[in-house]
Amino acid sequence: MQIEEKPPGTPPFATPFDWIGGEARVHALVERFYDLMDLDPAYAALRAAHGNHLVKARQHLFWFLCGWLGGPQHYTERFGHPKLRMRHMPFVIGILERDQWLACMDQAMGETGVDEELRTRLRASFFQTADWMRNRGE
């Protein structure tokens, strides 16, 4: 049996969803992300933007990330196209909120054991999305 070599820089898995470890690992990441947001004062502005309860936010981010990472399309099956920017317009998202979201997600990725190469790739993608979501200039 011959093993096919992948070109340099090719991810070791077909999708980031597979690479992260499937639904259970995405769920763990989302749970840690919201736990950190809820407990760590470093994320106070981000937490304040989420209102009193995080149950719905946790579920929606889990559904969204599964599909965004190349796994099951739970979010779009329930709600259609994510329309992220439109859905986030009611919330103040400036540089502070963007940066807190990114830091919180990066900490959650580190604490849940996301592979370092995948974490680096996701950081870049998360930054592009989070920066695009800003609706307040600073």
Q: Largest Cα–Cα distance in the chain?
A: 58
| Predicted local distance difference test score (pLDDT) of residue 1 | 54
Q: Report the CATH number that the domain containing residue 54 is assigned in CATH.
A: 1.10.490.10
Residue 28 within a domain: yes
The number of helices, as runs of H, and strands, as runs of E, in the chain is 8, 0
User: Which single residue is written with the structure tokens 């149950």?
Assistant: 55
Please tell me the distance from the alpha carbon of residue 134 to that of residue 80, in angstroms, as a whole number: 22
Exposed, middle or buried, 135 (CB in 10 Å: 0-12/13-18/19+)?
Answer: middle
**Other beta carbons less than 10 A from residue 8's beta carbon:** 5
Residue 75 within a domain: yes
- The domain in which residue 35 lies consists of 18-133
Residue 3 within a domain: no
Residue 1 within a domain: no
Span 54-66, pLDDT tens digits: 999 999 999 999 9
Inter-CA distances, 44 with 48, 91, 100, Å:
6, 15, 8
Q: Tell me the average pLDDT across 103-116.
A: 98
| CA angle at 76 for the pair 130 and 121, rounded to the nearest 5° | 40
Residue 5 within a domain: no
Please tell me the total count of domains within the chain.
1
Span 27-78, pLDDT tens digits: 999 999 999 999 999 999 999 988 889 999 999 999 999 999 999 999 999 9
pLDDT band at 4 (very low <50, low <70, confident <90, very high): low
What pTM was computed for the model?
0.88
Exposed, middle or buried, 111 (CB in 10 Å: 0-12/13-18/19+)?
Answer: middle
Residue 11 within a domain: no
Residue 2 confidence (pLDDT) above 90: no
pLDDT band at 137 (very low <50, low <70, confident <90, very high): confident
